[in-house]
Every structure is written in structure tokens, then in C-alpha cells.
């Protein structure tokens, strides 16, 4: 299967990154390589480091983008960008968070609730606990919290209760085992009114837990901004409220890090802004929404380094 997907908010990403010849960029979530290829084309000569924790993505990107002299594939987690790109200074960076279309469309990876496959969901299939490991060992309380925090699931308590009951009978091993838990927890009348699949929020929460996507995110954002040259920009695309909240607050803190009391006459904490958020919460336009359903939940936020507070 080809490792491709339609890059979300591509026009907006290029507009804010403004790639120029000779510059250096990094795509921390390489995936299908759509964003990376567009950046490489736009800047012509220059360097782009494509990072991904999924070995299949790296292999496919090397095949797709190997013809660009400035492309460098890096196998790893974007959370570890400083270790992966030592001594590299960036004119721009991109993070397209979440799961790739290829991962969803490859049944054996266990990301899809439409197919019956082993419960895996690891973005790096070579290491870490699987989704089966997680759902068969997580406490009812912690699972309920994960569903609420990372899935915005109204039926979180009921789903967590049913999960524990089902795994007492036998361990959950497949994606359809997990779908059956959701089906048993949410009344049929409610499921019939759902616009999307009723298991989508549960699968999202499990995926986030398995891949530890959110806990290291704020630190990673600070590390990426640290690697930017003055005037460089970091673009971050999120797909659900928990991700977007972390990005928004991290950018706000970097723009205004002062911890002094609001009524203090002068700043004594010594913390200075490192840049500014630009553009606000950027959403896809009507034309893109008609062509790419994945863009409906996408939000782009941009941070520019080197802005001094007036």
C-alpha cells in the first residue's frame, strides 16, 4: 500500500513557513511526505529533515523524496528533536499531529475500528506496549479518565465499566473486541444518531495512551522553538481539543512567560518572551473541506521566534 495522504492545510503551512532557497526545515511527523515534498519544491535548494517514529513511513519517504538532494530521513520521535538534530538550526518546523492515513488504512496496524485486526496501534511497531496490553491492564478509573480527557467521550464511565467486565471473561485481542465494548456500553438509539462511528473517540483515546502522545508535547514544542533561528516559525496541526489546548497554552506561555503578579509595578522574575503566536486558530477553507474530510477537525497554530514584547 502506498504511504500517501492528502496533506492538510498545505496552502496555509506554506504561506506561514515561506520556504526560501538555502533554508533548513524539519518535518517532525513525516508520514506520507506530502507536506515535506511541498516544502522541498517551494525552496528548491536547501535541507529538510523528515522525522518519523514509524519505520514504514521512513522507508516510503526515502523512496518518494530520495530524488531531492536536500532531503534527509530521520527515524525517531519528534519529542526527541534535540537529540535527533544536534547542532541543526531551523528556519521552520512542522508537526502534523495524530495518526496518518496509511496507519489507519493498514488493518494489521490496529488503528481502524472498521477492520478486524490485532489491537496494536503503536506508531513505532518495533517497541512499546500494544493497545491490547493497555486495555487489558489499565484500571477502570484511569481508562475512564483517558476517555474523557483524550476522547471527549460522554459515555466514558460506562465504557470503562464494560471494558473491565469483558476482559474478566477473556482478554481483548482484536479491534472488534474493543468495538464490541463500545457497542455494549452506548445504547443503540444513541449509536444510530451518531454522525461518525461511535468507537472513534475510544480508539483515539487508546491510541494517545499507547503512544504517549500528549505528556511530552509541551516540552517538545519548547525544544522545537529553541532550534529555530530568529524569525523562524513552527507550524503545528492538531486534530482534537486536548492537543490544541496544549499547543495554544504552550505558545501563550512562550509569548508571555512572566510569572510576576499581574499588579506588580515591574517584572522581577526575569523571564522574557521568546516569540509570538501568529494567525490564531487557523481552519481549512471551504474548498479543502469538500476535497478532504480529514481537514474538518484540523487546526493550525503558528509560533514565530524572536519577537520582542513592546
The enclosing domain of 51 has a CATH number of: 3.40.50.150
Residues 177 and 243 in one domain: no
Higher-confidence residue of 105 and 111: namely 111
Instruction: Report the distance separating Cα 124 and Cα 145, nearest Å.
Output: 25
| Residue 120 located in a structural domain | no
Residues 163 and 300 in one domain: no
- The residue segments making up the domain with residue 133 are 127-211
**Beta strands 299-305; 275-282: pairing state:** antiparallel
Task: Report residue 160's pLDDT band, with 50, 70 and 90 as the boundaries.
Answer: very high
What are 256-301's pLDDT values in tens digits?
Answer: 988 888 888 888 888 889 999 999 999 999 999 888 888 888 999 9
| Residue 247 located in a structural domain | yes
What are 106-155's pLDDT values in tens digits?
Answer: 778 888 888 899 999 998 888 889 999 999 999 999 999 999 999 999 99
Long-range contacts of 153-156 (CB under 8 A, 24+ apart): 153/201, 153/202, 153/205, 155/185, 155/186, 155/190
* Stretch 246-264: mean pLDDT: 90
* Domain-ending residue, one of 157, 180, 211: 211
Number of Cβ within a 10 Å radius of residue 280: 11
Q: What is the pLDDT of residue 3?
A: 52
Task: Report residue 214's pLDDT band, with 50, 70 and 90 as the boundaries.
Answer: very high
Residues 89 and 131 in one domain: no
* Residue 74 φ/ψ, nearest 5 degrees: -130, 120
| Residue 1 located in a structural domain | no
Instruction: Report the distance separating Cα 105 and Cα 111, nearest Å.
Output: 8
Q: Is the predicted pLDDT of residue 309 greater than 70, yes or no? A: no
Q: What is the pLDDT of residue 310?
A: 31
Residues 268 and 285 in one domain: yes
What are 44-103's pLDDT values in tens digits?
Answer: 999 999 999 998 889 989 999 999 999 999 999 999 999 999 999 999 999 999 777 667
Higher-confidence residue of 308 and 129: namely 129
| Residue 4 located in a structural domain | no
| Residue 108 located in a structural domain | no
Residues 160 and 205 in one domain: yes
The CATH number that applies at residue 156 is 1.10.150.170
* Stretch 233-253: mean pLDDT: 95
Strands across the sheet containing 228-238: 71-75, 46-52, 23-27, 90-96, 228-238, 299-305, 275-282
* Residue 183 φ/ψ, nearest 5 degrees: -60, -40
Domain count, the chain: 2
Amino acid at each position: 500500500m502506498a504511504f500517501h495522504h492528502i496533506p492538510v492545510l498545505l496552502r496555509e503551512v506554506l504561506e506561514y513557513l515561506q520556504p526560501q532557497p538555502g533554508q533548513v526545515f524539519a518535518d517532525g511527523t513525516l508520514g506520507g511526505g506530502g507536506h515535506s515534498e511541498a516544502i522541498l519544491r517551494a525552496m528548491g535548494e536547501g535541507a529538510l529533515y523528515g522525522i518519523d517514529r514509524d519505520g514504514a513511513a521512513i522507508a516510503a519517504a526515502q523512496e518518494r523524496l530520495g530524488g531531492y538532494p536536500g532531503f534527509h530521513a530521520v527515524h525517531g520521535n519528534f519529542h526527541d528533536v534535540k537529540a535527533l538534530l544536534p547542532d541543526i538550526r531551523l528556519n521552520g518546523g512542522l508537526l502534523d499531529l495524530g495518526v496518518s492515513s496509511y496507519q489507519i488504512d493498514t488493518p494489521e496496524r490496529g488503528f481502524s475500528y472498521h477492520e478486524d485486526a490485532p489491537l496494536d496501534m503503536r506508531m513505532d511497531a518495533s517497541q512499546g506496549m500494544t493497545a491490547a496490553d493497555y486495555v487489558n491492564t489499565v484500571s477502570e478509573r484511569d481508562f475512564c479518565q483517558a476517555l474523557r480527557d483524550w476522547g471527549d467521550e460522554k459515555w466514558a464511565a460506562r465504557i470503562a465499566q464494560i471494558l473491565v467486565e469483558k476482559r474478566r471473561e477473556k482478554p481483548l485481542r482484536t479491534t472488534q473486541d474493543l468495538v464490541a465494548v463500545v457497542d455494549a456500553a452506548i445504547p443503540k438509539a444513541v449509536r444510530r444518531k451518531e454522525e461518525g462511528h461511535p468507537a472513534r473517540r475510544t480508539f483515539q483515546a487508546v491510541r494517545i495512551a499507547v503512544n504517549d502522545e500528549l505528556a511530552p508535547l509541551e516540552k517538545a514544542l519548547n525544544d522545537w522553538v529553541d532550534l529555530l533561528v530568529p524569525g523562524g516559525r513552527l507550524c503545528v496541526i492538531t486534530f482534537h481539543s486536548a492537543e490544541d489546548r496544549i499547543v495554544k497554552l504552550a505558545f501563550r506561555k512562550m509569548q508571555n512567560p512572566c510569572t510576576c503578579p499581574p499588579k506588580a509595578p515591574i517584572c522581577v522574575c526575569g523571564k522574557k518572551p521568546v516569540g509570538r503566536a501568529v494567525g490564531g486558530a487557523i481552519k481549512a477553507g471551504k474548498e479543502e473541506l469538500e476535497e478532504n474530510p480529514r481537514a474538518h477537525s484540523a487546526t493550525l497554530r503558528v509560533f514565530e521566534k524572536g519577537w520582542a514584547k513592546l
